[in-house]
Amino acid sequence: VVLLLTCVALAVALIVVLLNERDGNRNANDFVEPCAAGYTVDTVDPSRPGPFSDLSAQEIDSVRNYMLAQGNLQLTPWEHAEITDNYIYAIETHLPAKDDVLAFLDRGGPKPERLALVTVYAGGRTPPVVEEYIVGPVTNPSSHTIYILEGRKFPIPFNSRVPDRKENDVVHAKLRGVSETAYRVLKESFDTWLHNCTDRCLMFVDTAPRGFRSGQRKTWWYAMRDLQGMTLNPVGFMVEINTEGADTSQWRVERVFYNGQLFNSVQDLVAGYDQGTIEKATLPMPKDDNTLFSSFRRRGPPQPSTPLRAPELFEPDGKRYKVRGRHVEYMGWSFDWRMSTTHGPQLLDIKMNGERIVYELSLQEIGAFYGGHDPLMLSTFFLDTGWSM
C-alpha cells in the first residue's frame, strides 16, 4: 500500500511539473506583457496654436474688443443690441491660405498669421445687410478688412442671415399673441396652448427654407405638445411668420394651418371656429404616463430578463491612439481637426504613413428634402447651416 501511494504521489508531481513547464513556455512565447500606459492624450494648449487651431477664449475676447472699439463700424455689444442695431453674430478662425500652410509645414516657411472671421448683423445699415470681416492678428488685432468671397452675392442680404436668439425672441412674442387670440380654439382642440400654459404647453419649432424667392423671409412654425418624445406629438397647428427686414414692427403672421385647413389670419380661423363653418379637431391630452405612447418609460418584460451590468470599454495595452490638442495619430493615420461655426466638422492635413493624401475634408452643407400633406412638410428643405450646424 505504501509503495502504491508513493507511486501515485510521484506521478502527480511529475504531471504538475510538466504542466508548469508547458504554461511557462506558452506564456513566454504566446503572450506579450501588457503596457498599461499606452499612448497619451494631451489637452489643447492655447499658448501653442497650430495653423488649423480654433480661437481660444482670450483670442475671441481680443477680437471682440477690437471690433467694438472701431467707431466707424458703429457696433453695439450683443447684450444691448436690438435687431435694428449692428452687432457681432459670430467670431471664428479664418483658415490661412493653403500655400502658406504647406510652406510652413513642409518647407520650414514662416508660420501663417492667425486671423479671425467676424460676422456682423448690420440691421442699422441702409439697407440692412450681413457683413464679414477678416481681423488680425488675433492676439492683438490691429486691422480689419471686409471679406468678399468670389462667386457669392455681395453685400450679403439681411434676409439671408441665420436666425439668432434675438430674432427668435421677437417671433415667440408673435406666437404668444397667436395663442392668446386663438386660446379657445387651442384649448378645446388640443387641451394645450402657449401663453401661461404651466403643464399644458405647446412648443413651436421652425423649419426652412425661409422663402423661395430672393428677398423673401417667411417661416412656418409648427406646434407640438411639450411632452416626452415631443416631436412625436404634433397637433396639426402651424403658423407662418414673415420676418423680412430689420423693422420688427412690420413682422407679421401671414397664414395659419389648422386641422388640414389654411387660413389667411388667426382672426379668420377664430371666426370660422366660432361660427362652426370649419372642421374642428379634437385631440385629448394624455391623462398620465401610462397613456402617453411617446414616454421614455420602459414597457414589457425587462431585457435581459436577469439584470446585467452594462458593457465596459477596456484597453488592455492602453490607448492605441495619440492626441495632442487637435492633432490625432492612429494606426499610421494622422490629421488635425476643428469645428467651424459655419461649416461644421473639418479634417485637415490628413496623412497615411507620413504621406499627405488630403489637405481638407469638410462638410459644406447637409440637406434633407421633406414631403407631406401640409404646407410645412410640402415646403421643407432642411439645411444644417440654417441652424448653425
Residue 17 is predicted with a pLDDT of 45
Residue 8 is predicted with a pLDDT of 47
Q: Indicate the DSSP class of residue 193.
A: B
To the nearest 10°, report the CA torsion of 116, 117, 119, 124: 70
CA distance 211 to 222: 16
Residue 304 is predicted with a pLDDT of 83
Residue 33 is predicted with a pLDDT of 56
What is the grid cell recorded at 57?
477664449
- Residue ranges in the chain modelled with pLDDT below 50: 1-5, 8-9, 12-13, 16-19, 22, 25-29, 31
Residue 29 is predicted with a pLDDT of 46
Single-letter amino acid code for the residue at 82:
E
Residue 39 is predicted with a pLDDT of 80
Alpha-carbon distances of 311 from 307, 308, 314, rounded to whole Å: 12, 9, 10
Residue 209 is predicted with a pLDDT of 77
- Selection from 72, 152, 52 nearest residue 120 by Cα: 72
Residues 294 and 224: beta-carbon distance below 8 Å: no
Q: Indicate the DSSP class of residue 293.
A: T
Single-letter amino acid code for the residue at 210:
R
Residues 254 and 263: beta-carbon distance below 8 Å: no
Residue 383 is predicted with a pLDDT of 67
Long-range interactions of 307-316: CB distance < 8 A, separation 24+: 315/38, 316/34
Give 59-101 as a DSSP string: HHHHHHHHHHT-GGG----GGG--TTSEEEEEEEEEPPPHHHH
Residue 74 is predicted with a pLDDT of 97
